[in-house]
Amino acid sequence: MNILRVDASARYQDSVSRQLTDELIARLQQNTDATVTTRDLGQGIPLLNEAMVIAYNTPADARSAEQKDLLSVSDLLIEELKAADTLVIGCPIYNFSVPAALKAYIDLVARAGLTFNYSSAGPVGLLRDRPTYIIITSGGTPVGSDIDFTSGYLKHVLGFIGIHTVEIIAADSLARTGSEKLAQVQKQLQSI
């Protein structure tokens, strides 16, 4: 089994999303020969720009060496995603939404012709479905509330590219609920 781990937190020390993702990965690896590929977005990721959009829209066999180089990170990220049997995303809520690095990641993996297509009936995801776990952490934003622009967005964009089996693990409102909520989430992780 191949597990793709995507860490979206800019923090390393004291990152709750990274801690909980560590725990979930350990759980998923129990009694298996699973391999884990880690994509750490806190290390930085290119932002989509005009040259990349032009390269996306240039037929693959007509791309220049420079265009191929521009798309190399996007191509690698898509290959990692395609190879994954299970996807685990650790995502803190920053200012009611996903961290900028996760949005940049999504911009690089949502590519027409590779991860989705348009049909007369609307968009069609091209990736195979797979179990996906999204660990969402927040200090004050309740997951599923009117001010949570993270969980619905992530479920929608994953569905857009073909991934529909998504479980949200919410370690939310930790500034108010603290260790009590963390204990509930850790118990939830043990049941996976």
Q: What is the pTM of this model?
A: 0.96
pLDDT for 178 beyond 90? no
Percent of the chain scoring above 70 in pLDDT: 100
Question: Residues 20-61: pLDDT tens digits?
Answer: 999 999 999 999 999 999 999 999 999 999 999 999 999 999
Question: For the residues 170-185, what does the mean pLDDT come to?
Answer: 92
Residues 6+ apart with CB under 8 A from 135: 17, 20, 21, 24, 88, 89, 90, 91, 169, 171, 185
Where b means 16+ CB within 10 Å and e means fewer, 67-79 reads: beebbeebbebbe
Class level of CATH domain 2-190: alpha beta
Per-residue pLDDT band for 177 (boundaries 50, 70, 90) equals confident
pLDDT for 179 beyond 90? no
For the chain, domain boundaries: 2-190
Q: What are phi and psi of 149, to 5 degrees?
A: -105, 25
pLDDT for 162 beyond 90? yes
**Beta carbons of 148 and 96 less than 8 angstroms apart:** yes
Per-residue pLDDT band for 175 (boundaries 50, 70, 90) equals very high
